[in-house]
Structures are given as C-alpha cells and as structure tokens.
Amino acid sequence: MDTSEYGFDPTYGYSLEQLLAVNTPKEPKDFDNFWQTRYRKALTVAPQPHTRIVNENKLGWRLFEISYTSTDNTTIRGWLLLPGSGVIKRGFVVGHGYCGRDEPDFHLPFKNAALLFPCFRGLALSSQPSISSEPYYHILHNINQADRYILGGCVEDVWLAVSALLHLFPDTAGHLGYLGISFSGGIGALALPWEQRIARGHLNTPTFGHHPLRLKLTTKGSGHSLQQFYRNHKKQTLKTLRYYDAALAAKRITIPIHCACAIFDPCVAPPGQFAIYNALAGTKQLFTLNAGHHNYADQKQQELELINELDAFFAPLND
C-alpha cells in the first residue's frame, strides 16, 4: 500500500495480531450513569416524523424525504427508502461519514425493510447556523462541556431515529438494525449499549475508539483537529473525551455486532478501530479491510464480499 501521500505509515506498525490485542483505556466511574441518564431523557422526546414522497421508483425503492425532532428541539432531516411492494418486516437506521451524505445508499441488499438515513445534527441536510458543518470544527463544538459536546447530540439523533422508525412502522419492533461507517460507526458504538430497541448492528471503520491512544497517532481528518486542540487544552479535552470513547461503550454492547475494521487507515487509526471490536462483549463478527479511507486494488471485491456478509448477518431480523 502506497503511503507516500501521507508522510506517515497508516498501519502505525501494527500487525493484525497486535491490533487484535489492543485493549481499552481507563474509564470514568460514572460512565454508565452519564449515558443512561441521557438515554432515558431522549426517550421522552416525541420524534414527530414527517415524510414527503420524492420518487415512486428510484432504483427499485420508493424514496422519501424525512424529518423528525431530536433532543434540544433539533430538527433532523434525511431520507427514507421503502420497498416498492411487499410487507415491511424490519427497519434500519443507516449513518454516514463525517462529510455527511448527498443521498441514501440504494445498493444495500435489505428486502422487506424500511431504511432511514438521518443526517446528524450540524451535517448535510441537518446543517444549522450555530454548528459548523466542516468536520474540522464540528468535532470541537462544545468540547469544553461534556454534557453539551456535539457527539452526545449525534448519539441522541440515533436514538430518536429509532423512535421515528417505530412511530412510522410499529410492526418492526424487535426487528431493527443499525449500520454506521467511520463517524457514524463511532457514534453507533456510543449509542448501542443503551439502545435495546436495536437487535443487531454493523460498525464499519468506526472512529472515537481509545482516545488516549488516538490522540497520539498521527492522522488526517477530524482526529487531526482533535490532536491540535488537545495540545493546548489537554486537561479539558481528556475530561470530555473520556465519556465519548467508543471502545469503552463497546464493552457494554450485548447485541450481535458485525465489524469491518481496516489494517491501514490514514483518517481513523486502526488501533482505535480494533479497540472497539476487541471490547465488544457479545456475539461479534470481524471483516478485515485492507484499507479504510483510501482507495486500493481489491476494494470493489472486498466491498462486494462485505455486502454479502451483511445480507446474511441481518437476515435474522426477518424472522
């Protein structure tokens, strides 16, 4: 893999064996209470979802625009895909990377399913004047306040997405899945320990794992922004980020999880990704990517293999 464009080694010298041995950092004593309190409060919010048909047949799907209310009276916008015909037996919340998304993922293989693609607060369709949509600054929004930090709001957006799906399709209760990549992989890991309405989850190149290690490893993307801020605000940064460590949250996830973790990644350091996978307490499945956030020779083949695995992994939601 060519590393010349980065000026550093995106494997960080870790072999797969070493990646599978990465542990979790020390956790705050009130970690569980911090998140459980937020989850209980989020469940009191009425999502009030609104949908508008955009296309009756877009690549085999009925395409809708959707909006719902999240915490702090925040309006979250996104898309909803429904099958052209048949009974809706299951539902999925599908997150996005830190650059947001321009459209839903039409290629997902899930049949008989309602797919909700929310844009998390401050990003893409859910942009707002008070929050920068640039990942470099979004990641720092309210980082000086653990209970107001932007990532916590994005986690709550996941919980309210679940509430919105169940409001629209109550028969999918017990048959819901979550898929998150990069940014939303880390957000998903933070959301799922407390969210028992989700039965299965997939985390692809998840970020926010093992912050003390992540802050030391040269990187691009939002992690670089955090590192620069950390140099001048070490105590406050760690005081907040210890509550937003996806590896610590993963220790508490008990539902089956499928992970796609990369051994080479210039934007989300592989040791942080594997810290999340290694910490998972329940049934788990690993798909090892040759690289993340980087184009490579076998990428299309690996993406196809991954889609096939996910189709099988989420099949029990049909039961």
Q: Which CATH superfamily is domain 16-101+110-313 in?
A: Alpha/Beta hydrolase fold, catalytic domain (3.40.50.1820)
pTM: 0.97
**CA separation for the pair 87, 105 (Å, rounded):** 20
How would residue 3 be classed by pLDDT, with cut points 50, 70 and 90?
Answer: confident
Q: Alpha carbon of 125 to those of 53, 118, 139, 265: distances in Å?
A: 16, 9, 17, 27
273-304 confidence digits (pLDDT tens): 999 999 998 999 999 999 999 999 999 999 99
What distance in Å separates the CA atoms of residue 302 and residue 54, rounded to the nearest whole number? 32
Reported as a pLDDT band with limits 50, 70 and 90, residue 61 is very high
User: What was the pLDDT predicted at 86?
Assistant: 86
Local confidence band at 85 (pLDDT 50, 70, 90 cut-offs):
confident
Q: What is the domain partition of the chain in residue ranges?
A: 16-101+110-313
- The whole-number pLDDT of residue 276 equals 98
Mean pLDDT of the chain: 96
pLDDT score of 158 more than 80: yes
Taking 90 as the threshold, does the pLDDT of residue 119 lie above it?
yes
**Residue 121 pLDDT:** 98
Tokens linked to 266: 């210039």
pLDDT for the residue 264? 97
Model confidence band, residue 1 (pLDDT cutoffs 50, 70, 90): confident
Per-residue pLDDT, 157: 98
Calculate mean pLDDT across residues 44-60: 97
pLDDT single digits (tens) 188-247: 999 999 999 999 999 999 999 999 999 999 999 999 999 999 999 999 999 999 999 999
Cβ atoms 162, 197 nearer than 8 A? yes
Task: State mean pLDDT over 241-270.
Answer: 98
Q: Which amino acid is at 117?
A: F
Whether 253 has a pLDDT exceeding 80, the answer reads yes
Q: What is the pLDDT of residues 121-137, one digit of tens each?
A: 999 999 999 999 999 99
Give the model's pLDDT for residue 4. Answer: 73
Residues 14-40: pLDDT tens digits?
Answer: 999 999 999 999 999 999 999 999 999
Which pLDDT belongs to residue 26? 95
User: How large is the average pLDDT for residues 59-66?
Assistant: 96
